Amino acid sequence: MNTIRCSIRCSIRTVVLLAVVTFIIVSPARAVDDVSATEQELLAVLRSDAPASEKALTCKKLAIHGTDAAVPELAKLLPDPQLSSWARIALEAVPGAAADDALHSAAETLQGRLLVGMINSLGVRRHAESVPLLATRLKDDDLEVASASAVALGHIGNAAATRTLRTALATVPEEARSAVAEGCVLCAERLHSEGNAAAATEIYDQVREADVPMQRIIEATRGAILARGQDGIPLLLETFESPNHKLFQLALGTVREFPGGAVDRLLADTMMKAPPERAALMIQAMADRPDTVILAAVLQAAEQGDRRVRLSAVDALRRVGNESCLPSLLKIAVEDDAALADTAQTTLAALPGENVDAQIVERLQQADGKNYVLLLQLVGQRRIDAVSDVLEAVDHADPAVRHAALLALGETVSLQRLSVLISQVVAPRFRDDAPVAQQALRTASIRMPDRDACATELAHALNSAPAGAKTTLLEILSDVGGTRALQTLATAAASDDDELQDAGSRLLGRWNSVEAAPVLLDLAENGPAEKYRVRALRGYIGLARKFAMPDPQRARMCEQALNATRRTAEHQLVLDVLQLHPSTDGLKLAIAAMKRPGLKDDATRAALIIAQKIGGKGVDVSELLAGAGLDKVKLEIVKAEYGAGAAQKDVTDVIRKQAGDLPVITLVSASYNASFGGDPSPGVVKKLRIQYRINDQPAEASFAENALIILPPPK
């Protein structure tokens, strides 16, 4: 199986990764001359009395530019608790023996956490010469040091390191044994990836038998199974039967990695003997081996036995089943157990196999009762082209059969046969079928690739449809969308039929594309009744609000909306749109709106808000505002504070700097924190309080964080 190759590749990958570090170490850095000047500049920082922060970042740069020349300066930082790890960032990356020696020397003298850092870096660099030192540190009284040494030896993984770890496994104190076992497993993995499976197996077995934590046993057991190749099958099966749940779980994972097909038969046999809660999980693992799974065993588990096992098996057949499973699944899908029946139907809907569709259609012709309903549902779910067969069921005496047939038609009928569903909606033979037929027609209509052709069919039916059905057809047309549907709805809304007017204007009002704008505007201006005109106008304004369009176009739409009615409510909606999409064109319109009766205050506020928004983006709005009769004021900022509770920041100067001769303050950023040079109280909701004078009259106002700053006139 691919997975085992994957495992080996991955182990090789680790070897390669570490080997590259070695390669870098023994190879001269490319273009050293090019970087030497940079390196000298960086070293000058380390040699200076620059602050620690500067030296820290210099270390990071030396990780790219450093050479042997940098090592002595970096080594000086290794005993520094603050800069030691920064220095190791560079030293782990710098090629050459000098960096190894520096880390090794530091590991001989340092203690505690700093020593652990050196050991970790020696492990990353796979410094073979450090094995004797690490072997000594393995016996250190400091558990962190001993554990780090064990893992570092595991990373080095040469013969000496492996020998040291295997010996230590039996001798180190219990507390350090887990890390030693981890190192052993790393060594074994390396040996396995290098092709020495026998040696790897020996180490894995040694760890399995050691007194180490269960997780180490799990890792060693996995390795022991895979390193043995096909000879690992008995151990795998034994692990499946382990009373320890963690080992059972390991077997579930490992069998998915196990190569070849020999294990599948034995796995199936083990599954059949396993307790139900385990068998259910084993079936899922079996199905994750689709190339070699014993299908008969899964099918047998699906057909009879423990309910939990059956459910798992029926689910698994969705991935590994074929047409041979069809008869059994069809039986299960009509059982009384709802969970089993539902799972079986889900599996049937996706069951692989070239002949499955044909067999379902064949069975359809002789089916009855629950089976008939099931088969019709499967026709729909699998989108089987069997319209002629399904049509025979549309007039069946059993409503469940009729409804299943209608829904199947909804999923499968073509445009040419759409009329069969239209007729069921316009003139249903059975009254109870009407809602189902409508649902089916909607399903069919919205999936037609040529929606205009579909809309034409539906529009044609509209002419002869009885009251009630007309609304249904219009709603379906609305779901279909497109030019033809839009035209049909427009015609309906403008007709002299109240039902059509109502449905047409309602559906146009929620039309979801700007193509509807002219239709809605026309209806808003010339509609047959006030309530429909309002509905259309709101839909029109909604388009201007929702959709991306050039600023002039949006402003033009808003202007037309303002002109189309005298109602304040819709005027305010227009002003909201202008504020939501601020632009120069919108500002001009808002200023013009100030002259409309009853709209002056709202339009003035909108103009100021728009002005502030676009002013913040560099647009000069002063001339427009001044020309609008928004009289200039004498504005004086007395004091401004920003913050929460006792944490207040004086922002008077910032506000003063931004204040002009209008009662609006535009900050450099929409964020108060950014505008005021930082957050005075992180994580807390803040307020801005301003004391000011307008034309020498005092006033005060508060603004929620990031709110628009429009200063109310003094009372």
Partner 1 sequence: MSKQAPQVPRRRFLQTTVGAAATAVAAPTIIPASALGRDGAVAPSERVVVGGIGIGRRGGYDLGCFLEQKDVQFVAVCDVKQKRRGEVKNIADKHYGNDKCATYRDFRNLLDRSDIDAVLIATGPNWHATAAMTAAKAGKDMYCEKPVTKNISQSLILSDTMRRTGRVFQAGTQRRNLPHFAFACELARTGRLGPLKKVYAHPAGMQAMMSGWLVPEPEPEKEVVDWDMYLGPAAWRPFNAKLLDGFNFEKGGGLVGGGVLEWGSHCVDLCQWAVGDCPPPVEYNAPKDGELVARYENGTELIFREKGWIPLGSCPVRFEGETGWVEAGDSGRMVLSSPELLAGRKVEEIGGYPATFHVRDFLDCVKTRSQPKGNADAACNAHIACHAANIALHLNRQVRYDNATHTFIDDVQANRLRSEALREPWRL
Rank residues 213 and 261 by Cβ distance to partner 1 and give the closer one: 213
3-class SS shares of the chain: helix, strand, coil, % to 5? 70, 5, 25
For residues 537 and 469, what is the distance between their CA atoms, to the nearest angstrom?
26
Angle between helix axes 483-493 and 498-509 (nearest 10 degrees) is 130
Site for partner 1 in 456-515 (CB under 8 A): none
What is the amino acid identity at position 196?
A: N
Decide: is 218 part of the binding site for partner 1 (CB under 8 A): yes
Decide: is 350 part of the binding site for partner 1 (CB under 8 A): yes
State the minimum distance, in angstroms, from the CB of residue 247 to partner 1.
10
Nearest by Cα to 604 from 689, 692, 710: 710
Rank residues 75 and 384 by Cβ distance to partner 1 and give the closer one: 384
Rank residues 15 and 701 by Cβ distance to partner 1 and give the closer one: 15
Q: Which two tokens mark 309?
A: 């096992």
What is the amino acid identity at position 515?
A: E
Q: Which stretch binds partner 1 (CB under 8 A): 354-362, 463-471, 500-508, 519-527?
A: 354-362
Rank residues 63 and 272 by Cβ distance to partner 1 and give the closer one: 63
Decide: is 567 part of the binding site for partner 1 (CB under 8 A): no
Q: Which stretch binds partner 1 (CB under 8 A): 202-210, 349-357, 493-501, 652-660?
A: 349-357
Decide: is 185 part of the binding site for partner 1 (CB under 8 A): yes
**What are the backbone dihedrals phi and psi of residue 654, each rounded to the nearest 5 degrees, phi first?**
-60, -45
Sole binder of partner 1 in the list 74, 138, 250, 564 (CB under 8 A): 250
State the minimum distance, in angstroms, from the CB of residue 345 to partner 1.
11
Sole binder of partner 1 in the list 76, 139, 163, 319 (CB under 8 A): 319
Q: Which two tokens mark 344?
A: 């079986």
Q: How are beta strands 687-694 and 664-665 bridged, if at all?
A: unpaired
The number of angstroms, rounded, from the C-alpha of 41 to the middle of its chain's C-alpha atoms is 45
Q: Tokens 């560079």 identify what position?
A: 90
Rank residues 81 and 466 by Cβ distance to partner 1 and give the closer one: 81
Nearest by Cα to 59 from 37, 35, 75, 36: 75
Rank residues 177 and 533 by Cβ distance to partner 1 and give the closer one: 177
Q: Which two tokens mark 220?
A: 């060693």
Rank residues 572 and 681 by Cβ distance to partner 1 and give the closer one: 681
Q: Which stretch binds partner 1 (CB under 8 A): 258-266, 339-347, 570-578, 632-640?
A: 339-347
Q: Which residue intervals of 256-351 are DSSP H helices?
A: 262-273, 276-287, 295-303, 307-320, 326-332, 338-350
Decide: is 446 part of the binding site for partner 1 (CB under 8 A): yes
Rank residues 382 and 588 by Cβ distance to partner 1 and give the closer one: 382
Site for partner 1 in 639-658 (CB under 8 A): none
Site for partner 1 in 70-89 (CB under 8 A): 81-86, 88-89
What is the amino acid identity at position 575?
A: L
Site for partner 1 in 661-700 (CB under 8 A): 682-683
Rank residues 58 and 579 by Cβ distance to partner 1 and give the closer one: 58
For residues 252 and 281, what is the distance between their CA atoms, to the nearest angstrom?
8
Instruction: Give the per-residue contact string, 520-559, with partner 1 (x = CB under 8 A; - = no).
Output: ----------------------------x-----------
State the minimum distance, in angstroms, from the CB of residue 485 to partner 1.
14
Nearest by Cα to 524 from 513, 516, 535, 514: 535
For residues 334 and 329, what is the distance between their CA atoms, to the nearest angstrom?
9
Sole binder of partner 1 in the list 36, 38, 242, 249 (CB under 8 A): 249
* DSSP letter (8 states) at residue 712: P
Decide: is 2 part of the binding site for partner 1 (CB under 8 A): yes
State the minimum distance, in angstroms, from the CB of residue 299 to partner 1.
16
Contact present, 476 and 444 (Cβ < 8 Å): no
Rank residues 245 and 567 by Cβ distance to partner 1 and give the closer one: 245
For residues 169 and 173, what is the distance between their CA atoms, to the nearest angstrom?
9
DSSP H or E stretch at residue 643: strand 635-644
Sole binder of partner 1 in the list 74, 77, 91, 577 (CB under 8 A): 91
Site for partner 1 in 396-425 (CB under 8 A): 411
SS (H, E, C) 569-629: HHHHHHHHHHHHCCCHHHHHHHHHHCCCCCCHHHHHHHHHHHHHHHHCCCCCCHHHHHHCC
Rank residues 441 and 628 by Cβ distance to partner 1 and give the closer one: 441
State the minimum distance, in angstroms, from the CB of residue 148 to partner 1.
7
Q: How many residues form the binding site for partner 1 (CB under 8 A)?
A: 106
What residues contact residue 58 under an 8 Å CB cut-off, 6+ apart?
A: 42, 45, 46, 50
Rank residues 451 and 588 by Cβ distance to partner 1 and give the closer one: 451
Site for partner 1 in 4-63 (CB under 8 A): 6-7, 9-11, 13-14, 16-17, 20, 24, 27, 29-31, 52-53, 56-57, 59-61, 63
Site for partner 1 in 111-150 (CB under 8 A): 113-114, 116-117, 120-121, 123-124, 144, 148
For residues 329 and 343, what is the distance between their CA atoms, to the nearest angstrom?
9
* DSSP letter (8 states) at residue 649: E
Rank residues 448 and 708 by Cβ distance to partner 1 and give the closer one: 448
Nearest by Cα to 639 from 656, 625, 618: 656
Sole binder of partner 1 in the list 284, 456, 553, 673 (CB under 8 A): 284
Q: Which stretch binds partner 1 (CB under 8 A): 215-223, 266-274, 631-639, 646-654?
A: 215-223
Rank residues 131 and 281 by Cβ distance to partner 1 and give the closer one: 281
**What are the backbone dihedrals phi and psi of residue 641, each rounded to the nearest 5 degrees, phi first?**
-130, 145
